[in-house]
Every structure is written in structure tokens, then in C-alpha cells.
Chains A and B, each alone.
Chain A
Amino acid sequence: AQKITQTQPGMFVQEKEAVTLDCTYDTSDPSYGLFWYKQPSSGEMIFLIYQGSYDQQNATEGRYSLNFQKARKSANLVISASQLGDSAMYFCAMRDSNDMRFGAGTRLTVKP
């Protein structure tokens, strides 16, 4: 069965600095996808970034990048140049051929 672990319940970062949110996963399926979602205080789920298990390069989307270390089964989200609007819950998710499961989330607070 899939398992996704986010070990940081809460993180603080100074505005304009970079921050890394940790995510580890476990699956026996060789083909899978890793996703990060942002949930602001308004509650909606916003897709941020995707990394495929066979992708050779780390995914990037603007200020977001995914540090994918396949051997360690980790998929950490890096947010560069943090902004006040980045304050939110962040969820890591994994998808295999069947369904998508999520971690417990990390609450990020950006300090001015």
C-alpha cells in the first residue's frame, strides 16, 4: 500500500528566503507520480507541481521546484524567494496506477 509522510507539521520562513518542505513516500509500483498541492486559508486545493517516477530531471514551475531523490524515496518541495502569499498548508501526494494518496501536510508561515 502507498504511504506518504510529511514530518514537518509547521514551518516558518522569512520573506524572500527559500524553504524546503519534506516528503517521503513508499510504493512498490515502479510507475508513479508525485504531486504538491497548496491549500490557502480559503480552503481550495491548488495544484503546484508534478514529478514522474521516470523523469530524469527535477520538475520546476516558477518559484517551485521538486527535489526528487528516487533512491531515498523523497520528493521535497522547494519554494524560492518566499512571499507572504505562500503562507498556507502544503500537501504532498503520490499516485500510482490506481489512486492518489496524500500526506498529513505542512503548515508554512512566511514572516515579513
Chain B
Amino acid sequence: EAQVTQNPRYLITVTGKKLTVTCSQNMNHEYMSWYRQDPGLGLRQIYYSMNVEVTDKGDVPEGYKVSRKEKRNFPLILESPSPNQTSLYFCASSPIGASTEAFFGQGTRLTVV
């Protein structure tokens, strides 16, 4: 089954404790992206990648890191999480091109206390 898989689905952590949210897709998509969703702000892009070893900042990259060492994986790293990073996170993937829809993971609800 074609899908984007995020793990974990839910995470509660403490301020400053490094964490990684994994994202994997099995559709051989070049494009992958991370978004955070906050009430009233919609989905804001954190980082995106157009292919292996190619990553770019989105609108809200501060406090996050990503890597794209393999085509299928695009982990999101929070080196020192803070409470303002409490949010719902989505990973998405798609082929490259303006006409292609993005496929989303199930989301990761992160709480930083």
C-alpha cells in the first residue's frame, strides 16, 4: 500500500531533550516536506527537500533540523525542544511538479513540557 509513515503518532517530552520524528514514504517520491499545524495558523512549512541531499528552509525552520540521506526517509530533528514547539506535525511527499498532490502522513502530536 502506498503510504507516508510517521513515527511516533504521539509524544510527550521535556524541554531540552533531543528527539527525532521519523518519516518514510514508499512511493519513490522526490519531494518531501514537514509542516506544523497550529490553531488559526494553518499548516506552516518547516523544511522541504526536492531530492536526496537537497533540503531547504520553509517558513518556520528555527529550532528544527532535517536530513535526506535516502530518498524514502526525511526525519525531523528537534535538538533542544521548547514548549513553543508543541504542535501537530505532518510529513508529506509527492513527485515533483506543480500539478501533483501531496500525500500526508497521519501526523505526530508533540507536547513539550
Chain A residues within 8 Å of B, Cβ to Cβ:
6, 9, 29, 31-33, 35, 43-45, 47, 50, 52-53, 91, 93, 95-105
Contact = CB atoms under 8 A, between A and B. Distances in A.
A33 B45 CA distance: 17
B98 A53 contact: yes
Contact of A44 (B41, B50, B58, B107): B107
Nearest to A99: B48
Contacts of B33: 99-100
Interface of B: 31, 33, 35, 40-45, 48, 50, 56, 58-59, 88, 90, 92, 94, 97-104, 106-107
A91 B99 contact: no
Given A33-B99, A43-B88, 9 more contacts: A47-B102, A47-B103, A95-B98, A95-B100, A99-B31, A100-B33, A100-B45, A104-B41, A105-B42
Given A43-B106, A44-B106, A45-B90, A101 B45 contact: yes
Given A6-B42, A102-B35, A103-B42, A47 B101 contact: yes
Main secondary structure of the interface of A (DSSP, over half): loop
A27 B55 CA distance: 21
B92 A100 contact: yes
A98 B45 contact: no
> Lowest 7 A-B CB distances belong to which pairs?
A104-B42, A45-B104, A102-B43, A33-B98, A99-B48, A47-B101, A105-B42
